[in-house]
Structure 1
Amino acid sequence: MKQLCALFLLLMFAVSNAQNIKYNYLNTPLLEVIKEIEKTYDLSFSYASDLIQNKTITLNVSQIELSELLIILEAQTGLTFDQLSDKQIIVAPKQGDNKICGYVLDAITRIPIPYATIGTDENTGVITDLNGFFTINKTNSNRFTATSLGYEAKEFTGSKTCMQIYLSQGTESLEAVIISGYITNGIDRNKDGSIVIDTKRLGILPGLLNADIAQSMQLIPGISTLDESATGIQIRGGSPDQNLILYDNIKLYNTGHFYGMFSLFNPFATEKAAIFRSGTSASYGDRISGIIDISSGEEIPKKTNGGFELDGLAVNGFVKMPLSDKTALYVFARRSYPDVWKTPTYTSYADKIFTNFGVARDINGNVLELETDDDFNRESSNNDFSFADVNAKVVIKPNEKNTLSVSGLFSRNRLDFNFMGGDELLIDSLITKNKGLSFEWKHRTSEKQQEKLTVYFSEYNSFYQNNEIKDETGDDIPELAEINIRQNDIVDIGANFSLTRNLTNTQRITAGYQVSYTNLDVIIRKINPLENSIEDSGQSDTNFKNALFGEYTLSFKNDAFLNAGVRLVHYNSVDRFLVEPRINFEYPLNDRFRVKTAIERRNQPISQLIEFNHTELRLENNLWRLSDDNQYPLLSSNQISGGILYNHKNLNIDIDAYYKELEGLTTFTNGFSNPLENLEEGESTIKGLDVLLKYKWHNYKIWAGYTFNDITFSFPNLQGNEEFPGNNDITHAFRISNTLKVDNWQFSLGWQIRSGKPVTPVNRYVIEIDADGENAGVVDFGPINSDRLPAFHRLDASILYDFNIKKLRAQLGVSVLNLYNRVKPINVIYKAERKPLDDGGIAIPGTTGSTPEELEVILEQVIQRFSLGLTPNVSFKIFF
């Protein structure tokens, strides 16, 4: 027994002594560390004195083997420590032709990180070894990104000697990139299913000359527009107003210039955008379709940099400057100039926007001779248009634990438009404005926990006025006969707080609270100066939102991903408490195949409605309305999606199927083209399939996307229980794109084709006499959306050339949209109302009669939207 006790005490003594052996260095010169190791282990190091000069070590560990200690020294210095014998170690540099090397280490512990990924902007990469070491071929840009599970990604530039890349443990690391270059350079796919567009790395795209977020995302299957605009974004069958769009945490209600043809987002001011088609986090709410979360960045530049761009529509510039080593200022500004000089680019867009009437026919091909339609186009009208936007941001990083930013935006659109419609002069004026301000504070309490607080203010203003000047008395003196006013104002103020904690490197929990207040005003006014009468309709509504959300994220060791969350929200405009569960799961079958599924329920308390068709306005007639659970119901959706993802070497294949149920739709819903203006409520079902194939061969990339949609509407009071195609039911959509880079040249060519939009046909159209003794076109419509417009297709091309002007980097670009100039109608809108006919009914031989005072459907206007014709553009950029 005594011998056992003695042995136990001896072991405890040995362990105690081993635990007391510590290596505690803080930026200690390597020479001092070597001397201490030589003394401790009775070793001899051989090295050149200039080799270890300026090398330092930071380390705090207890009881470590010599071999492990040498690995850490290699990782922190970029040198090799080769142990030739028990008594001798040689220190030497690491070198390689056309390669760079380095070590990836934990920023806090300075311990090497094995199996980290080093990626390039050319969609290639390598994995670090057990010692955190890597070598990788140099690239033209010499830019790389280091990522590892449980850490924040870090970009770095290659150097001639081995370097140390320190990664910080982050709360966003579980959403690591799964596929770099998912479609092309700068469009990546994250593990959570979101698509990230990085404008710094974004390559050339067909028909585009800059990194426009709204246009770039339309390359993603399931995302498209029906009108070729940058703002009519439809994500998996949802209308544009069903997308939540954030810019630096500012909620936006208008995202376009020039009637949505151009994005509100200055390409220089959009560094990254995360796009969710499904599987959204519980932190996002208030919309039932896609999420578009845009950031202008938060980097502190080492020196002032900026740029300038001139293209066929606007001048654009930006500057990013460090105010100190911890503070930066960003400023972005853009203004159009067609009000000064109308270029061919502007003319092409103006032809599309201001040409609204073509030859309308019935189902048998007979031309509709409309009695009251006003035929106008760009040549027969006068228009002055301008837009401007300004963005600014201040970023402050006082220390490693805190990041603060203040971001602001302002945009303005103005149009003055007039034309002669028969014997009257019609004058339109439209002004839209966006204002926004946000504050964000990110605080890292510890290595495992981070808090985030954001406060935002958003304001949207739209004012439209239509004046009708005509001779009402017959004395050849035109007078102001009618004034129509449409005004829509929104003020949205909110705050969000979230706390994220990493339980382990693979597990995370997030909880948060959101509060917002929305005030919405609608004014619709009709003034008759001759009769001194005013008709007013409109209202002022408010909504106060409280929301709690929480989610659990698990990233398995085999790279599987699970996110489960719930959102609890109360909207006082409908006085309802709502529960929104979310789940998103991906699982790798092997190193090439991943299966995925997502289920979610979402609600939307605000939407855009069309309720101003009785005026002369033909351009924008959408008004935002808050839900009241009565006339304007709450929108709700249930969604489920699933698919398979293949990624190997240079080939990506992504197949995703989805099913959505939407409730709370009305005949005033954005995009609904029912000929009559009666308000009815209905629902929709969306079935879809998205397919992407992408292949890369050296500097050549080709990708193809296909989307199948089956969108049906059900409105019992319109067509009984019979379902009919939704207004945005584009059954088939296909797009193929190519890009090629040769030295300083970039080339891109893309072609797209899709099914025509559903329309309601005219079965019969005759001219009769109404109760006022005027000719009236009586119409008999066929089943809703039972016909389709011609298929839409277009070929686009772009060329970019990079060069230097002295020490400045420059780029010249040329693009053409719709190379073969195919112009076809892409939408048809009927304006009709019920009116009584005159006694006797028959006014024109061959037409049908009617009973006295019988109400008939009178067709007053057929508004047609046409596709964009051949549209050239040229841009010149210069950067400093």
Structure 2
Amino acid sequence: MQHKISKQAFVSVLAIFFFFGFSVLGQTEEKKPLYAVIQQLEQKYDIRFSYVPEEIAPIFVTLSKETESLPVILKQLNNQTPLQFTLLDDRYVTVVSPLRQSKLCGRIMDAQTGKPLEGANIITETNRFSTTSSAEGFFTLSEEISNNTSITISFIGYYPMKISVEQLKADCPIILLQPETAVLDEVVIQTFLVQGISKKTNGSIAINTENFGLVPGQVENDVLQISQALPGVESADETISNINIRGGTHDENLLLWDDIKMYQSGHFFGLISAFNPDLTKQVTVYKNGTPPRFGESVSGVIDMRSKNRVSEEFAGGVGVNLINASAFIDIPLSKKASVQVSGRHSLSFLETPVYNTYSERIFQDTEITNLENPGTETKINAEEDFSFYDFSTKLLWDVSEKDALRVNFLTIDNSLDFTESISGANQSKTSELQQRSLVGGISWKRNWSERFETTAMVYGSYYLLNATNKDLFTTQQLFQENEVLEDGAKIDSRYNISEKINVQSGYQFSEIGIGNTQDVNIPRFRVYNKEVLRSHSVFSNLTYTPNQQNTVINAGARLSYFSKFNELLVEPRLSVHQKLGNGFSVDVQGEFKSQSTTQRIDFQSDFLGIEKRRWVLANNEDVPILESKQASVGLGYQKNKWLVSLEGFYKTVNGITTSNQGFQNQFQFVKARGSYSAKGLEFVFNRKTKRFSAWISYLLMKNDYEFESLIPSAFPNNIDIRHAATVAGSYSLNDLKLALGINWHSGKPYTTPIPGNEITVTNGQPSIQYASPNTERLPDYFRADFSAEYIWGISDAVDAKINIAVLNLLNRKNTLNIRYALDTDKDGENRVNQVEEISLGLTPNVSVQVLF
């Protein structure tokens, strides 16, 4: 028998089905992504989960709605996932995968905000192992590290923390770093190019050498060489004694070592940094928006700092490469005091291939190689005996919990003996050149409270360059000397008005004396000139962060009074960083700056033609005070390990002279005052992964002179490099690092003699007749560089670091400069000789360093 079901009964049965169905679904939710569940739990229970996003991304879970107890929920998550959820306290929950449970790990977070810290440095006491924290603050250590080993965790703007490896045996414990509330440093916003280079919200670039990656061509962490990897920072002649920041000359930069101005920057007359990389730990480069506490520069600022924390354990190292040997030690004297000592000395007696290549590069366009008279019939033999060294020491004494005393000393020396002799004749002469710097300072820092601190410092900086040039064919001797002495005092104060407002103010006094001597015995001639200038400067800067670093405003001014001229200069400074959301940000910067010390070149043969520049002091007559103005706007994007930056700038510098620009054409002996303007675009593209970083940087710039008294009055700057680009990459795998890069830029301008009418004679004196200034261009510059580094753990306490670097991997011949000089042929007729300055050739170098 068939039974018919009425429509009403069917609806009733269907209603009952849905009722029971929803009742069951009400007891158990559908599966949800674990990431979404964690976010809901964080909001509901006001807790924080520490996890690696990649580990939880593919996991889905099901939770009961009626469950209210957090421990019960965590138990369900433990049962449904391969992860281990552990409630550390009433605030934090760690999430660890089985792959990481067997390793030593931790998570670094801000103690105040609870946010993870990306890029924190984790270094073992033996320096055998180092790593950085991930975007979520995680880090892992090798299980081979001994339990009694201690590690130091540091992050810019936070107090460092020292813990033992034993403490990491828990389930990835959370390590809370306390912000340095007394000192509100500019916040780091991104890792730039390679590990150890970061960009700050005030537009500056910070280079931290303690856990640095690798830059192509570097056998050591030469900070002045590394700075040239930054966009807008170039060297027109490959040397670190001629760094050009946004079209400025090297003397327009302020170089500071532990807050003391340096008047010498290089060894080997510019090919090697004079600052020992073993103790130079932190470098900050400013291209614009410079804080008002920095004066005496119209271009960039390179602020170099040695380690400033009292060491608790002994550390040191010895090393050697094909140029020099070095050593450093860091000795704890007590719990409150330690001393750092470092030194380097050249290995010129070995005459390695690198030494010979460097010698050819430096001495090629000098009196030593006699390039201006290549056709001379007299055979002249030349021998040079060159050496350099540097030595530095620093005493660190934390007198009390609130007081810290620091004493610094540094000496740098270059020495050259040049002996000429005539083949077949018993006749020889030895010329000498010496370049030396001595600097020292004492500083006292006091934290009066958590909000207020002061720093007082007295310092001295001395520079000496002298040369004795003896003529081989006569008894004539020329003595030249350039001497600089600066002493001064600085007082800084910093006050945190609130978490959002910080004020830094201070006073600076300096007295600079510069002397120049020229003494010739035949015919008897002596000129000595000395200038002294005192300046008083006050400055103040306000840092305002209204919305948790989304907006960072630095605004301030510097007032400098020169008593000798009764002149007051007002220099406003501004830097604004604004996050726009979705990874985008915008930066606006501007500054007025001034400078009273410059370098001039009188003759190309000064100081044997090797170090032709001499320091001079403003006198407000033929040597004015330089003044600059600059503005820039930049747009940045940083998200998911991608970084893109585009910045446009415009800079003008007034008060330059033809003497300090180093003209080698019709304006070489003309005295004129003028200005230059540089405008351009800087572009950076950077992609990073855990082990690999690749970047492309490009600079487009137009740099022109304006001299009203010259004809023509406007023409390209001597260092007007219109296009410059770098393509590079670095790779790291455990203890091995590799880096490869290509540097290219268009040729700088130079001036040629008028074709067919090269020589003109006036009153019996011949001279070169030049065409329009700087209308010709050198060939494009191209260089490929390679670096490799390997750290070998000899024992728990001793490591060996091996570096290999090759400059100009393809051995390309690059022309760095072309100039012209008058000489005579074998018949005594005047002729014009073209002198070319050629770049370094293929230059391999190897470094071995033992660290303990």
Give me the TM-score of the superposition, normalised by structure 2: 0.81
> What is the match of residue 706 of structure 1?
698
> What is the match of residue 801 of structure 1?
790
> What is the match of residue 673 of structure 2?
681
Q: What is the CA–CA distance in structure 1 between the aligned matches of 2:90 and 2:116, rounded to whole Å?
A: 24
Is 1:619 matched up with 2:610? yes
Over the matched positions of the two proteins, sequence identity in percent amounts to: 27
How far does the alpha carbon of each residue in 1:396-427 deviate from its partner, in whole angstroms, 9 at most, with x for none?
11333222110100111101124469999674
> What is the match of residue 634 of structure 1?
625
Question: Match of 2:849, as an amino acid?
Answer: K
Give the Å deviation of 1:146: 6.6
Q: What is the CA–CA distance in structure 1 between the aligned matches of 2:566 and 2:373, rounded to whole Å?
A: 45
Is 1:398 matched up with 2:399? yes
Q: 1:467 aligns with which of 455, 466, 470?
A: 470
Q: What is the CA–CA distance in structure 1 between the aligned matches of 2:161 and 2:527, rounded to whole Å?
A: 56
Question: Match of 1:551, as an amino acid?
Answer: N
> What is the match of residue 63 of structure 1?
none
Question: Match of 1:449, as an amino acid?
Answer: F
How far does the alpha carbon of each residue in 1:500-522 deviate from its partner, in whole angstroms, 9 at most, with x for none?
11111111111110001111110
Q: What is the CA–CA distance in structure 2 between the aligned matches of 1:778 and 1:248, rounded to whole Å?
A: 48
Q: What is the CA–CA distance in structure 2 between the aligned matches of 1:374 and 1:145, rounded to whole Å?
A: 64
Contact preservation (8 Å) 1:152, 1:171: no
> What is the match of residue 779 of structure 2?
790
Give the Å deviation of 1:377: 15
> What is the match of residue 269 of structure 2?
259
Map 1:377-456 onto structure 2 (within 5 A): 381-419=382-420, 427-456=430-459
Pair 1:469–1:165, CA change in 2 (3 A): same
Question: Match of 2:545, as an amino acid?
Answer: S
Give the Å deviation of 1:862: 4.7
Give the Å deviation of 1:370: 10
Is 1:284 matched up with 2:294? yes
Pair 1:707–1:155, CA change in 2 (3 A): farther
Pair 1:376–1:153, CA change in 2 (3 A): farther
Secondary structure of the residue aligned to 2:362 is helix
Question: Match of 1:336, as an amino acid?
Answer: S
Question: Match of 1:117, as an amino acid?
Answer: L
> What is the match of residue 158 of structure 2?
152
Pair 1:642–1:814, CA change in 2 (3 A): same
Q: What is the CA–CA distance in structure 2 between the aligned matches of 1:460 and 1:94, rounded to whole Å?
A: 58
Is 1:873 matched up with 2:845? yes
Q: What is the CA–CA distance in structure 2 between the aligned matches of 1:353 and 1:567, rounded to whole Å?
A: 39
Secondary structure of the residue aligned to 1:542 is strand
Give the Å deviation of 1:863: 4.0
Pair 1:221–1:82, CA change in 2 (3 A): closer
Secondary structure of the residue aligned to 1:271 is strand
Map 1:247-326 onto structure 2 (within 5 A): 247-326=257-336
Contact preservation (8 Å) 1:357, 1:865: no
Q: What is the CA–CA distance in structure 2 between the aligned matches of 1:874 and 1:459, rounded to whole Å?
A: 33
Give the Å deviation of 1:82: 6.5
User: Please, what is the CA RMSD of the aligned residues?
Assistant: 3.3
> What is the match of residue 140 of structure 2?
138
Q: Where does structure 1 lack aligned partners over 5 or more consecutive residues?
A: 1-66, 68-77, 84-89, 107-111, 128-134, 359-368, 471-478, 836-841, 845-857
Question: Match of 2:531, as an amino acid?
Answer: D
Question: Match of 1:867, as an amino acid?
Answer: S
Give the Å deviation of 1:573: 4.4
Q: What is the CA–CA distance in structure 2 between the aligned matches of 1:697 and 1:115, rounded to whole Å?
A: 22
Is 1:167 matched up with 2:178? yes
How far does the alpha carbon of each residue in 1:839-868 deviate from its partner, in whole angstroms, 9 at most, with x for none?
xxx998xxxxxxxxxxxxx87765432100
How far does the alpha carbon of each residue in 1:166-207 deviate from its partner, in whole angstroms, 9 at most, with x for none?
51543433412111x211010111121111111011112111
Question: Match of 1:502, as an amino acid?
Answer: N
Is 1:493 matched up with 2:487? yes
Pair 1:105–1:125, CA change in 2 (3 A): closer
Give the Å deviation of 1:240: 0.5
Pair 1:93–1:126, CA change in 2 (3 A): closer
Q: 2:358 aligns with which of 349, 363, 368?
A: 349
Q: 1:819 aligns with which of 784, 800, 809?
A: 809
Map 1:231-246 onto structure 2 (within 5 A): 231-246=241-256
Q: What is the CA–CA distance in structure 1 between the aligned matches of 2:571 and 2:134, rounded to whole Å?
A: 39
How far does the alpha carbon of each residue in 1:248-282 deviate from its partner, in whole angstroms, 9 at most, with x for none?
12210011111111100001020101111111001
Secondary structure of the residue aligned to 1:781 is coil
Q: What is the CA–CA distance in structure 2 between the aligned matches of 1:219 and 1:377, rounded to whole Å?
A: 45
Secondary structure of the residue aligned to 1:353 is helix
> What is the match of residue 230 of structure 2?
220
Q: What is the CA–CA distance in structure 2 between the aligned matches of 1:415 and 1:601, rounded to whole Å?
A: 40
Contact preservation (8 Å) 1:79, 1:94: no
Q: What is the CA–CA distance in structure 2 between the aligned matches of 1:769 and 1:590, rounded to whole Å?
A: 66
Secondary structure of the residue aligned to 1:175 is coil
Secondary structure of the residue aligned to 1:589 is strand
Q: 1:207 aligns with which of 192, 205, 217?
A: 217
Give the Å deviation of 1:489: 0.5
Secondary structure of the residue aligned to 1:267 is coil
Give the Å deviation of 1:604: 0.5
Q: Where does structure 2 lack aligned partners over 5 or more consecutive residues?
A: 1-69, 71-85, 122-130
Secondary structure of the residue aligned to 1:200 is helix
> What is the match of residue 510 of structure 1?
504
Map 1:554-593 onto structure 2 (within 5 A): 554-559=544-549, 560-593=551-584
Q: What is the CA–CA distance in structure 2 between the aligned matches of 1:441 and 1:263, rounded to whole Å?
A: 28
Map 1:853-868 onto structure 2 (within 5 A): 862-868=834-840
Give the Å deviation of 1:778: 4.9
Question: Match of 2:234, as an amino acid?
Answer: S
Q: 2:239 aligns with which of 226, 229, 238?
A: 229
Give the Å deviation of 1:357: 8.2
Contact preservation (8 Å) 1:694, 1:703: yes
Map 1:17-96 onto structure 2 (within 5 A): 80-81=88-89
Q: 1:176 aligns with which of 163, 166, 187?
A: 187
Contact preservation (8 Å) 2:506, 2:538: yes
Secondary structure of the residue aligned to 2:225 is helix
How far does the alpha carbon of each residue in 1:640-661 deviate from its partner, in whole angstroms, 9 at most, with x for none?
0111111112111111111011
Q: 1:646 aligns with which of 631, 637, 659?
A: 637
Greater displacement, 373-382 / 384-393: 373-382
Pair 1:843–1:347, CA change in 2 (3 A): closer
Is 1:662 matched up with 2:653? yes
Contact preservation (8 Å) 1:119, 1:146: no
Contact preservation (8 Å) 2:372, 2:821: no
Q: What is the CA–CA distance in structure 1 between the aligned matches of 2:379 and 2:204, rounded to whole Å?
A: 41
> What is the match of residue 689 of structure 2?
697
Q: What is the CA–CA distance in structure 2 between the aligned matches of 1:768 and 1:520, rounded to whole Å?
A: 38
**When the two structures are aligned, how many residues end up with a matched partner?**
736
Give me the TM-score of the superposition, normalised by structure 1: 0.78
Give the Å deviation of 1:697: 2.6
Greater displacement, 456-465 / 518-527: 518-527
Q: What is the CA–CA distance in structure 2 between the aligned matches of 1:93 and 1:211, rounded to whole Å?
A: 38
Q: What is the CA–CA distance in structure 1 between the aligned matches of 2:298 and 2:372, rounded to whole Å?
A: 41
Contact preservation (8 Å) 1:687, 1:709: yes
Q: What is the CA–CA distance in structure 2 between the aligned matches of 1:312 and 1:378, rounded to whole Å?
A: 31
> What is the match of residue 741 of structure 1?
732
> What is the match of residue 537 of structure 2?
547
